[in-house]
Homo-oligomer: A and B are copies of this chain.
Amino acid sequence: MIKPRTPPGVMELLPRDQIAFQRMLDSIRQTFERFGFLPIETPVFELSEVLLTKSGGETERQVYFAQSTGALEKSSEGVPELALRFDLTVPLARYVAEHEHDLAFPFRRYQMQRVYRGERQQRGRFREFYQCDIDVVGKDALSIRHDAEIPAVIHAVFASLDIGDFTIQLNNRKLLRGFFEGLGIGDGEQQDGVLRELDKLGKRGVAAVRETLAGEGFALSDDVIDQLMSFSQVRSQGRSDALAKLDALGTGTPLFEEGRDELRDVLQRMHAMGVPEQRYAINLSIARGLDYYTGIVYETTLDAHPQIGSICSGGRYDNLAGHYTKSKLPGVGISIGLTRLFWQLREAGLIATADSSVDVLVTLMRDEDLDHALALSQRLRAAGLNVETQLESRKLAKQLQYADRAGIRFVVIRGQDEIARGVVAVKDLRRGEQFEVAESDLASTLLVEREQSRALAGR
């Protein structure tokens, strides 16, 4: 006998939690499609040679390799031929480069698949997790207007997920780099270093970061550090405040001005798209660790749960697929790590166990009524209801108990009394009510009830 268990670092759910998770996936997908993004899926494994274009990076050390039994025997040395995707960005780059001539640009794609990382074993760290990504990829150039649409998508996603108030935080790497230039930090590598340090402000605290910036590696003066700190503390509340705070930064280098103009443009378009002012803010401390962001960057936080960190991040990059094609492919995109988000929301008690995906349980009191119960169930299904039929007669109390535990809302009962009067009884377990209805009206009655409560729940 082998103990049945999953490997560490995966999230496996019981059905009712899976239903809750699936509803989040469906909601995100629907929002992505509302904004005109097109679906793609890529294989879980890529050729190692294609996937691992850089060497020695942090992500690469966490890569999972795959090989079939045959290959395992043959090749004990060397890197296996296949590697599991560790994000959806490299597969996107490969996809766009491979299918370049079959795609229309700007190419707007969404992708919601699991990715794999050999994370250290630790509570809340996942080795397999869903990412839900959108990207707009241009050819040669991509208008800043696309950068403005992204926060409208973020807003629509989290408004429809209904997991509490959130703030979309905006910054621009050009503004940051331009500001550094103005302070005399002109070298690209040094700028990267400073960006990385500022990104750690939240984790390490001001004092520690100041110390690093003053230390040997950077050797920045107190005055410069003061300016970096006050710059990175800039936050806005509402749109006019954001514009005012951007104005108050004074004049800067051409790169600085370009970054500021882009932010102003994005704020203007977000206004045109009706994104509520309280849902976004300028936050000049945001740099995003990844080196490939070059313009606008986004992070999103839950107002009541800052400890969760960013639940949706991304930004603008100059060239998606330089390893695979000579075409210049600038883009802008975001990623939602849904497995981690779901896990944290559940830990925080913010996700209730979902009702069943089954709307109706058709009960069975006597075996001779089975065929009737089957036919009735089929009629309810044809009307669009999800129906489970009790196939073996049991005591009614047992059947009600089962429906209650399973989270099934409606229980249809057709005992001898109801048969005699040509009706069926319906127990609404959510409302704790029971009513009778002519069998011919059953489907429409249940549909109306279901639609009403969906409308109430905003689904």
Chain A interface (Cβ < 8 Å from any Cβ of B) = 1-7, 10, 12-16, 18-19, 22, 33-36, 38-47, 49-50, 53, 60-72, 76, 80-82, 84, 93-95, 97-99, 102-104, 108-109, 114, 116, 118, 128, 143, 145-146, 149, 152, 156, 268-269, 272-274, 321, 323-326, 356-358, 361, 370-372, 374-375, 377-378, 381, 385-389, 391-392, 402, 405-406
Contact = CB atoms under 8 A, between A and B. Distances in A.
Chain B CB within 10 Å, residue with most, of A62, A146, A323, A392 = A392
Nearest to A39: B18
Given A7-B47, A70-B118, A1 B324 contact: yes
Contacts of A357: 33, 38-39
A405 B39 contact: no
A19 B76 CA distance: 41
Given A2-B49, A118-B69, A269-B371, A391 B145 contact: yes
Given A63-B68, A64-B68, A109-B15, A98 B5 contact: yes
Q: Top 6 closest A-B pairs, CB basis?
A: A68-B118, A36-B388, A272-B371, A15-B38, A10-B43, A4-B324
Contacts of A374: 149, 269, 272-273
A342 B378 CA distance: 28
Given A2-B323, A33-B357, A272 B370 contact: yes
10 contacts: A4-B97, A6-B43, A12-B95, A14-B102, A19-B39, A34-B386, A34-B387, A35-B388, A44-B114, A143-B391
Contact of A98 (B6, B22, B104, B118): B6
Contacts of A146: 391
Chain B CB within 10 Å, residue with most, of A6, A114, A375, A406 = A6
Nearest to A108: B388
Contact of A50 (B4, B103, B372): B4
Given A64-B66, A65-B68, 10 more contacts: A4-B324, A6-B47, A10-B43, A15-B39, A35-B388, A36-B386, A43-B128, A65-B72, A273-B377, A274-B375
Contacts of A10: 43, 45
Contacts of A71: 118
Given A43-B7, A69-B61, A145-B391, A273 B378 contact: yes
Contacts of A12: 41-43, 95
A61 B128 CA distance: 25
Contact of A156 (B43, B102, B145, B381): B381
A13 B95 CA distance: 10
A392 B145 contact: yes
A38 B18 CA distance: 9
Contacts of A358: 33, 36, 38
B34 A13 contact: no
A69 B323 CA distance: 22
A369 to B, nearest CB: 11
Nearest to A119: B68
A76 B75 CA distance: 10
A46 B1 contact: no
Nearest to A405: B104
Contacts of A40: 13, 15, 18
A269 B326 CA distance: 63
Contacts of A19: 38-39
A10 to B, nearest CB: 4
Contact of A387 (B35, B42, B93, B94): B35
A396 B109 CA distance: 24
A68 to B, nearest CB: 3
